């Protein structure tokens, strides 16, 4: 298992906790900064060099509601990190996955893909105006559009599948950039949220369920998918728009310079 991390100190702490619980675990760290295409290419090159096969890739990194800022390549931070970074990394590693029967790509989306979410092709980087909630929704909708289009392209190969998951409402550091109005309300609704351990279960099921099918989306089974145990759930109608999926794919290739080895 390789933990691809931006912060090596936090990565070492996570590695130590894994080894404490499972002394025989094979764990390695790989530095990865999804806000830099150069760093993504460097990390992917190292991973391809160290691993001749990759069984599972979990695209789990994310930022939510930050003040307006950009990646090192000038992309709006949420779209650049949550979508374009994962798009580039997956494309650069896919050649190590395609020969592996049962391999899969898991991309983590969010309930936020429904919240004022659209793909703003006329202003993808939010240069004319910036709304942190809408920008987050765009990035999380992009995660699902990417998953469904990737699955369609993988289907002809018959080995690797693409699936998605979301954690519901989970108490994590992701909440640190809440808008002021939401930060005021958060203590009141926090009891409705679940712990990070429960929030991780949909991703773990998407990654390990032997019955999982390409294109499925896993989330909590509770009311409004906010909490509970993982099951296959539905995503928004917009996320299934094939024209939107294909257009985003083309734009993502142009912005990242990464072309997938899928013919």
Is residue 174 pLDDT above 80, yes or no? no
| In a domain? residue 249 | yes
Q: Is residue 9 part of a domain?
A: no
In a domain, 262, yes or no: no
| 25: in domain | no
Residue 108 lies in a domain: yes
Provide CB contacts within 8 A for 184, sequence distance 6+. Answer: none
In the chain, the number of structural domains is: 1
Q: In CATH, what number is assigned to the domain containing residue 210?
A: 3.40.50.720
127-131, 172-176, 211-215, 255-259: which has the minimum mean pLDDT?
A: 172-176
Query: pLDDT tens across 214-257, in order?
Result: 999 999 998 888 889 999 999 999 999 999 999 999 999 999 99
pLDDT at position 168: 85
Which residue segment(s) compose the domain that 154 sits in? 57-256
Active site residue 136: yes
Residue 107 clears pLDDT 90, i.e. is over it: yes
216 lies in some domain: yes
Mean pLDDT throughout 59-65? 92
Please provide the DSSP assignment of 192-212 as one string: GSB-HHHHTHHHHHHHH-TT-
More reliable by pLDDT, 44 or 195: 44
pLDDT at 195 over 60: yes
CA 48 to chain centre: 20
Q: Is residue 42 in a domain?
A: no
Instruction: Point out the catalytic residue in the list 65, 136, 217, 260.
Output: 136
């Amino acid at each position: 298992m390789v933990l691809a991390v931006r912060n090596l100190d936090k990565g070492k702490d996570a590695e130590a906790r894994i080894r404490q619980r499972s002394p025989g675990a094979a764990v390695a760290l790989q530095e990865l900064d999804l806000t830099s295409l150069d760093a993504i290419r460097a990390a992917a090159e190292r991973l391809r060099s160290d691993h001749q096969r990759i069984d599972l890739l979990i695209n789990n990194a994310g930022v939510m509601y930050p003040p307006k800022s950009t990646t090192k390549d000038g992309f709006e931070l949420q779209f650049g990190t949550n979508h374009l970074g994962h798009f580039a990394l997956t494309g650069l590693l896919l050649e190590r996955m395609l020969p592996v029967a049962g391999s899969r790509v898991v991309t983590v989306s969010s309930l936020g893909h429904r919240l004022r979410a659209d793909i703003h092709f006329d202003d993808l980087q939010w240069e004319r105006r910036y709304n942190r909630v809408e920008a987050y929704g765009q990035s999380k909708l992009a995660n699902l559009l990417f998953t469904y289009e990737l699955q369609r392209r993988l289907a002809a190969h018959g080995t690797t599948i693409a699936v998605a998951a979301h954690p519901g409402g989970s108490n994590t550091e992701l909440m640190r950039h809440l808008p002021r109005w939401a930060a005021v309300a958060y203590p009141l609704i926090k009891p409705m949220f679940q712990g990070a351990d429960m929030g991780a279960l949909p991703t773990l099921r998407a990654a390990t369920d032997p019955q999982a099918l390409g294109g499925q989306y896993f989330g909590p089974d509770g009311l409004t998918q906010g909490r509970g145990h993982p099951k296959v759930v539905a995503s928004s109608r917009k996320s299934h728009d094939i024209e939107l999926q294909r257009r985003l794919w083309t734009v993502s290739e142009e912005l990242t310079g990464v072309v997938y080895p899928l013919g």
